[in-house]
């Protein structure tokens, strides 16, 4: 049986992204560039759907509950000519928790917790920050969400959840996926065990 295809969008930029702060599950709003990136993703999606002979109503729409992902979804839906508020939210799509490191830059963490950060670089897949979660744990909850997906879907979530999907769907192995770049203003299409990038 064919797996549902996911049209996956990482939320647009926030001020914390611009400052290279670890956001994790902190609820940080999009900045002006982030709003523009979200609208751009809606336009990319519109073109992809038209190329495939499909319409926006053909898809399910689901977002992480964090405001940066919800706002991204609402701007995407507006660009597609849909009611911006008619989509589902699923907590399993939240970004991975960075625990006590949230709000800090990597430079801050290096100064205050350098030995622990070094351990993360040795095994990024299994490492959990103090009070946070690992990619391995994140992949389990994202996999539980994916098991509920019944049709092709547009998803607005986070960089970490995209990397977890890469492992769950067999796009990349655990040792590689945590190091992959997931950009803003881009639509990623997960189809089977392949991932394509548009934008």
Active-site residue, 11 included: yes
The SS3 of residue 198 is strand
- Residue 179: other Cβ atoms inside 10 A: 11
| Two tokens, residue 101 | 């490191």
CA 57 vs CA 31, 61, 74, 144, 152: distances in Å: 28, 9, 15, 25, 11
Q: Which of 13, 74, 95, 133 is catalytic?
A: 95
Cα within 13 Å of Cα(197), Cβ side = 12
- Residue 125: other Cβ atoms inside 10 A: 18
Active-site residue, 95 included: yes
- Residue 110: other Cβ atoms inside 10 A: 14
**Annotated catalytic sites, by residue?**
11, 95
């Amino acid at each position: 049986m064919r797996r549902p295809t996911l049209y996956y969008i990482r939320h647009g930029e926030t001020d914390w992204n611009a400052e290279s702060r670890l956001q994790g599950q902190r609820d940080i709003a999009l900045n002006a560039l982030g709003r523009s990136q979200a609208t751009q993703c809606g336009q990319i999606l519109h073109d992809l759907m038209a190329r495939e002979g499909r319409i926006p109503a053909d898809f399910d729409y689901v977002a992480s509950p964090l405001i940066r992902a919800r706002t991204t979804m609402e701007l995407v839906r507006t660009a597609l000519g849909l009611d911006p508020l008619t989509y589902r939210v699923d907590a399993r799509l939240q970004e991975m928790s960075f625990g006590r490191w949230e709000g800090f830059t990597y430079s801050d963490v290096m100064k205050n917790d350098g030995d622990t950060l070094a351990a993360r670089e040795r095994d990024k897949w299994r490492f959990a920050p103090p009070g946070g979660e690992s990619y391995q744990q994140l992949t389990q909850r994202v996999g539980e969400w994916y098991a509920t997906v019944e049709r092709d879907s547009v998803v607005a979530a986070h960089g970490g959840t995209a990397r977890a999907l890469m492992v769950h769907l067999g796009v990349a192995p655990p040792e590689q996926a945590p190091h992959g770049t997931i950009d803003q203003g881009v639509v990623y299409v997960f189809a089977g065990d392949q991932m394509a990038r548009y934008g």
